[in-house]
Amino acid sequence: MTCSLQIEFIRSSQISPDDQQTIDRLDHLAFAGKVAEDDPNEWADSDWMVLGRIDGEIVTQLGLLKRKIRAGAVLLPVGGVGGVATHPAWQRRGLSTALLRAAAPFIQTELKVSFGLLNCANESQPFYARLGWKTVAAELWFMENKKRRLLQTPVMILPLSTHEWPQGEIDLGGLPW
């Protein structure tokens, strides 16, 4: 079913108003009812969107951003992956898998970082693990309205080089994604 999937990488600033509407609708649809009480009030904007279209319609998407974060004593840039969503009518056909597979070399060569990083629900970990993502923490720090907040969430990284992930507390230093 993925054979007719067209994958496009587009800077968020270059998305047309029509496509942005579709992206926002899909986001709301996919994440409806999934907001937890201690979730952040705001999420970081993506620098890039990865869009998957079938017959021209956006049916699956994810956002990418580059951020310098702190892990333990080390400051390092990561490729953030967020807003992974497939339209409910198109789920379980390998579409998100295809986007995540396509995103990995892009994160490595275009964002020029050694790690992807995402946070996800407990039940989504096996999905990302199948694609090479590894859980490195059960919480992360982020900044919201100038306040430092702790988010309890599986934190997963995608190693894109031979570098070891630094041990220690993870601080995104800004809004999470």
Residues within the interface to ligand COA (CB under 6 A)? 30-31, 34, 60, 84-86, 91-97, 120-121, 123-124, 126-127
Give the shortest CB-75-to-ligand COA separation in angstroms.
25
Give the shortest CB-22-to-ligand COA separation in angstroms.
14
- Residue with smaller CB distance to ligand COA, 9 or 127: 127
- Residue with smaller CB distance to ligand COA, 31 or 39: 31
Give the shortest CB-36-to-ligand COA separation in angstroms.
12
- Residue with smaller CB distance to ligand COA, 92 or 146: 92
CA triple 21-25-29, angle to 5 deg: 175
DSSP states of the chain as a string?
A: -GGG-EEEEEEGGG--HHHHHHHHHHHHHHHTT---TTS-S--PPPSEEEEEEETTEEEEEEEEEEEEEEETTEEEEEEEEEEEEE-GGG-SSSHHHHHHHHHHHHHHHTS--SEEEEE--GGGHHHHHTTT-EEEEEEEEEEETTEEEEEEEEEEEEE-SSPPPPPS-EE-SS---
- Residue with smaller CB distance to ligand COA, 74 or 138: 138
Give the shortest CB-73-to-ligand COA separation in angstroms.
28
Give the shortest CB-15-to-ligand COA separation in angstroms.
19
- Residue with smaller CB distance to ligand COA, 34 or 147: 34
